[in-house]
Amino acid sequence: MKPMPKALKVLNWITSALFVVALYLVLFYAPRETVMGDVQRVFYFHVAAGWVGGLAFLVTAIASGVYLTRGDHRWDQVALASVEIGLVFTFANIVSGSVWARPIWNTWWTWDPRLVTASIMELVYIAYLLLRQGVEDPDRRARFGAVYGIVGFISVPITFLSIRIFRTIHPVVIGSGDLSATGSFNMVPEMRVAFFFSLFTFTFIYATFLWHRLRLQRLAEKVEHMKMKVVSE
Amino acid sequence: MFLQETTANTFNYMILGFGVILGVIVFYLISLVARFRNLNHDLELLNEIEVDGRK
């Protein structure tokens, strides 16, 4: 395996430093929300994790489209790597939202449009991985995955818009939400700084993970190639 | 909540929330490292087999 590129090492350090600063801003710089108390601080990373989920699935859709157009296998690798990261962050988003909901909505879970659409989105992309595992031929696997990666992306805007279209108790912090939403709050300037810095930091975390995941993918292919070579000898 | 006069004490839920998010990220990081190690180990093994085969 090739040694880690210098640019990736630098990215690792930048991401780590950004994460420490983001933690400081979220835990100490942003003021405690008057009604909800400390649990409101979870919101900064909860939204940032959701943002990374959506971004990762968008990258998958774009990479899938490029793969279908050019037939370059590397784009299929990007799509796959991005789905895996998107699933991880969407899971963190859903579970952290559930933890926030317990003291604010007095329940861990409710069949609210946002919670349901986010869970369906997660399941759609778990199915993407299952589909790929079920196809033996690498070219067919990549083609099927690419088509699914594009079609499955429909679940992302539906999830984003669900709290803006349907009647919901999920708060909309940016833009106007439903009057029945519980847990809404107005962000003071310090909160906005912590919020946007968290989004920025999580975008860096995504980029760093994607690079590492792609290197892992290449290593796996190298091992597979070696296996075939040894077996054929 | 509309009738409360003081800020709710939700510190424990905050800890749990951050624990979940950081835990998931760290778990994924560990899984990446473990997969790298396993693959590197496999690659070394396959290289040895290939060298032995040539002899």
Across the A/B interface, how many CB contacts are shorter than 8 Å?
Answer: 105
- A185 pLDDT higher than 80: no
Query: Is B39 within 8 Å of chain A by CB?
Result: yes
Helical axes A189-232 vs A42-70, angle rounded to 10°:
40
Mean pLDDT value across residues A102-107: 94
Query: Is A181 within 8 Å of chain B by CB?
Result: no
Collapsing DSSP states into helix, strand and coil, what is residue A37? strand
CA distance A66 to A29: 42
Collapsing DSSP states into helix, strand and coil, what is residue A136? coil
Q: Looking at residue A172, what DSSP letter applies?
A: -
- Model-level pTM? 0.92
Of A45, A88, A216, Cβ closest to residue B35: A216
Of B1, B7, B17, Cβ closest to residue A100: B17
A 10 A CB-CB count for A190 gives: 12
Query: Is B45 within 8 Å of chain A by CB?
Result: no
DSSP string, chain B: -TT--S----HHHHHHHHHHHHHHHHHHHHHHHHHHHHHHHHHHHHHHHHHHHH-
Task: Considering only CA atoms, give the Rg of chain A.
Answer: 20
pLDDT digits (tens, 9 = 90+) for A219-230: 999 999 999 888
Tell me which residue has tokens 């995941």: A213
* Percent of the residues in chain A that have a pLDDT greater than 90, as a whole number: 83
The predicted pLDDT at position A3 comes to: 84
The predicted pLDDT at position B54 comes to: 72
DSSP-H helix ranges across chain A: 6-24, 42-70, 73-105, 113-133, 138-151, 155-165, 189-232
ipTM, two decimals, is 0.90
Of B9, B13, B24, Cβ closest to residue A102: B13
What residue spans define the domains of chain B?
A: 21-55
Question: Which whole-number Å values give the CA distances from A87 to A22, A63, A126, A127, B22, in the listed order?
Answer: 22, 17, 7, 11, 15
- Cα-Cα-Cα-Cα dihedral sign, residues A20, A24, A25, A26: positive
pLDDT digits (tens, 9 = 90+) for A2-27: 788 999 999 999 999 999 999 999 99
Question: Could B13 and A99 be called an inter-chain contact, meaning their C-beta atoms sit closer than 8 Å?
Answer: yes
Question: Could B10 and A103 be called an inter-chain contact, meaning their C-beta atoms sit closer than 8 Å?
Answer: yes
